[in-house]
A and B are shown apart, each in its own frame.
Chain A
Amino acid sequence: MTPASAPHVRPAAPLSRHAPATDIALSCHGIERSFGGLRALKGVDLEVRQGQIFGLVGPNGSGKTTMVNVMTGFYPPNAGRVELFGADITRMAPHKVARCGVARTFQNLALFKGMSVLDNVLLGRHVHMRPSALASLFYWVWAEREELAHRRVVEEIIDFMQLQDIRDEPVEAIPMGLQKRVELARALVAQPRFLILDEPMAGMNQEEKEYIARFILDARDERDVTIFIIEHHMDVVTAICDEVVVLCYGEVIARGDPATAIAQPQVVKAYLGERAAARHAGTAS
């Protein structure tokens, strides 16, 4: 896809407006992870500054999702260190990482079937609630007030994500584009400090992509959240990301400003192959 078809979103705001450049939200040092004989990540380093929209790109199988799974505790790394706002979260269980203010969406949706959109989004409030069986038994005196307080927060996100008319639908009954939006709402309602989006625009048409891009920018600007995004649509990456890292076979092959990074010859080669890259270089010069 060419930059000409980029969604009509405003260019990323300058970083300095959000946070001083020294504020590191997440840093990974020398992350190694292998599955059997396959070294999926070969010493990856990256640093995400607070208030950034940080892109992680790379061809299929380059280790992007593995990287995210290491960050969120699903795959403990074989070596390396993950720090979130200065605290070490390496090898922490996923549910504890969530309590540190990390929310995430999945590449293939991970909504809870058989529940309504509203209940799915309410589940996003779990880290802020105190679920207990006794509270359920004495609902009227014990749980109702808490439920209602969290319902207000949820309704605010439902308005923000424009899900008002589907809040009572079962999640499996709504279209894919909306399901992705519900999952993003569930992640945002936890009021995370760090939000990880794994291909939020996969399988979407242009209009849906523009919607999601708008939600991501608004989330960063209005809700004070640092965003880490894996995405294949290069038009979106160049339009909304402040910084990118390009992975290929588990190694970082380029990093920095999105437009410059993805134009580098080794990145074009990783995506298109040797011959096509040579042709690309020929047309570019």
Chain B
Amino acid sequence: MFYRRAGILHTRYQDERQLWPFAFDRGLVATVLAILLVAPFAFDRIYLVTYLLPWIIWSSAALGLNLLMGGAGQVHLGYGAVMGIGAYASVHLLRAGIPLELALLAGGLASAAIGSLFGAAALRVKGLYLAMATLAMQYIVDFIISHFSIISGGSQATLQVPPVRFLGVSLASDAAAYYFALLICVGIVLFMLNVRRTSFGRALAAVREKDYAAAVIGVDSFRFKLVAFFVSSFVGGMVGCVMAVSYYRAVSPDQFHLDLSIQLVAMVIVGGLGSVLGSFFGAALILFAPIVLNHAVAFGADTFGVGISADLRAHLPLMLYGAMIVGFLLWEPLGLAKIYNNARNYFMVWPLRHNR
């Protein structure tokens, strides 16, 4: 009904391979983008800075990790460290007076170089062992950042980001910082969408599914795994820079600890491995479910006059949060994106039952 397949007749291959063949999807994407563009004027500052901005940034980071985990099938438990490398590299360059455009790319390159160095070592093992090797990377990078004062500026230090301009616009205002993050996010989204319809994405998928079958059609598994590490780390480094510049406006070692890595892995898995849309769903769930549940529990206790103790009031949201993640994964192991897709497929032919 909403998604009209009837009347869509492709006469050229490029029409068939376009990003959103359905008019409804194109409308939906345009609407969401329009809302995101007018958000600084339409919403209160507090919503922009505490909800929308982190959602955009964490989704971008989840997308970068999703290229590696969903695209090439390699687990990475040190993605927070990768982002930390990018953030520290770019902030040091910014403090040295290098413009943000260059610092952003340099941060990405620093992450990509160090990330793929670890990757080259870690990729000699697979599966759970790879997870352990990347976890080791997280701890090594954490240690180096906090113990080398030339990087962190001292063990408890916070490095302030100087006032910066991007393409001539000062990022001092919240709106400008938000648009900067949004621009990078849109770039990453377009990249991820295009990866899936090009030979690069197909080669990664081949490596993920069956490495011997990938070899037989000429795909060098090790090389593509390494390239996936490189590109994914590059994206992570750039997002680390965005996080430092437009969200924290400073860097300190505790921003990039293991909890960030775990948060991102959770976003990718709950959202849906390999799904662009899923990264946004996953980021929203992991970031906002605790806040929403907190408010809901407090509101419920107050309205219904149930006298629950302060302890329970603090812990109940956390229990519900855990149950929610387990529940979603039991309901649909392929993640929130798959749940959305099921609904979409249902409405594709509604009120009829079958697609074909």
- A150 and B212 CA atoms in complex are apart in Å by 23
Say which one of A13-21, A30-38, A58-66, A107-115 lies at the interface with B.
A107-115
A131 interface residue, CB < 8 Å from B?
Answer: yes
Instruction: Spot the interface stretch: B196-204, B299-307, B310-318.
Output: B196-204
Docked-complex contact B217 and A139, CB < 8 angstroms: no
Asked if residues B215 and A131 are in contact (CB atoms below 8 Å), the reply is no
A128-175 CB contacts (< 8 Å) to partner B: 129-133, 135-137, 139, 143-144, 146-148, 150-152
Decide: B216 and A104 in contact? CB cutoff 8 A: yes
B353 within 8 A of A: no
- Contact indicator per residue, chain A 108-127, by CB within 8 Å of chain B (1) or not (0): 00111111000100111111
Which of A104, A106, A139 is close to B198, meaning CB atoms less than 8 Å apart?
A: A139
Tell me the complex Cα distance, A132–B14, Å: 19
Instruction: Find out whether the CB atom of A136 lies under 8 angstroms from the CB atom of B212.
Output: no
Chain B, range 155-179, C-beta contacts under 8 Å to A: none
Report B186 CB to chain A, min CB distance, Å.
Answer: 12
Contact with A along B12-36 (1 / 0, CB 8 A): 0110010000000000000000000
Q: Is the CB of B218 within 8 A of A127?
A: yes
Assembly CA distance A151 to B198 (angstroms): 11
CB-based contact A148/B215 at 8 Å: no
Q: Is A227 an interface residue (CB 8 A)?
A: no
User: Known contacts A133-B227, A139-B197; is A147 also within 8 Å of B17 by CB?
Assistant: yes
The smallest C-beta distance from A47 to any residue of chain B, in angstroms, reads 23
Checking A93, A94, A104, A114 against B205 with a beta-carbon cut-off of 8 angstroms, the contacting residue is: A114
Would you list which residues of chain B between 190 and 216 have a CB under 8 Å from chain A? Answer: 190-191, 194-195, 197-203, 205-206, 209-210, 212-216
Question: Closest CB of chain A to B244's CB: distance in Å?
Answer: 23
A133, B203: Cβ atoms closer than 8 Å? no
A193 CB, nearest partner CB in chain B, Å:
14
| A181 neighbours in B (Cβ, 8 Å) | none
* A119 and B216 within 8 A (CB): no
Determine if B320 is an interface residue (Cβ-Cβ < 8 Å). Answer: no
The chain B residue sitting closest to A69, CB to CB, is B212
A245 close to chain B: CB less than 8 A: no
Q: Distance in Å from the Cβ of B264 to the closest Cβ of chain A?
A: 20
For the complex, what is the distance from the CA of A190 to the CA of B199, rounded to whole Å? 14
Residue from the list B205, B218, B231 in contact with A112, Cβ < 8 A: B205
Measured between C-beta atoms, what is the minimum distance from A166 to chain B in Å?
12
Q: Is B59 an interface residue (CB 8 A)?
A: no
Contact of A95 among B191, B202, B221 (CB under 8 A): B221
B277 interface residue (CB < 8 Å to A): no
**B220 at interface by CB-CB < 8 Å:** yes
Partner of B213, one of A112, A114, A132, A147: A112
Q: Please indicate the chain B residues that have their CB under 8 angstroms from the CB of A98 in the complex.
A: 215-218
CA distance A137 to B216 in the complex (A): 27
Least distance between B256 CB and chain A CB atoms (Å): 24
At the interface, yes or no: A99 with Cβ under 8 Å from chain B? yes
Chain B: CB-nearest residue to A73: B215
**Bound form: Cα–Cα A99–B223 in Å:** 15
Q: Is the CB of A114 within 8 A of B209?
A: yes
**A143-B198 contact in complex given A112-B209, A131-B203, C-beta closer than 8 Å:** yes
B219 within 8 A of A: yes
Distance in angstroms between the alpha carbons of A104 and B217 in the assembled complex: 8
Which of chain A's residues have a CB closer than 8 A to the CB of B194? 136-137, 139, 143
Task: Enumerate chain A interface residues (CB-CB to B < 8 A).
Answer: 72-74, 93-95, 98-99, 103-104, 106, 110-115, 119, 122-127, 129-133, 135-137, 139, 143-144, 146-148, 150-152, 186, 190
A-B contacts, 15 of them at CB < 8 A, read A74-B212, A93-B215, A95-B219, A95-B220, A99-B218, A110-B212, A115-B202, A115-B209, A123-B219, A130-B199, A133-B195, A136-B198, A137-B194, A143-B198, A144-B14
- A sample of 17 more A-B contacts (CB under 8 A), given A106-B216, A119-B202, is A72-B216, A74-B215, A93-B215, A94-B212, A95-B214, A95-B219, A103-B216, A111-B213, A115-B202, A129-B199, A131-B199, A132-B200, A133-B195, A133-B227, A136-B195, A136-B200, A139-B194
Q: Sort A-B residue pairs by CB-CB distance and give the 9 closest, nearest first.
A: A98-B218, A110-B213, A94-B215, A127-B218, A131-B199, A139-B194, A131-B200, A129-B199, A112-B209
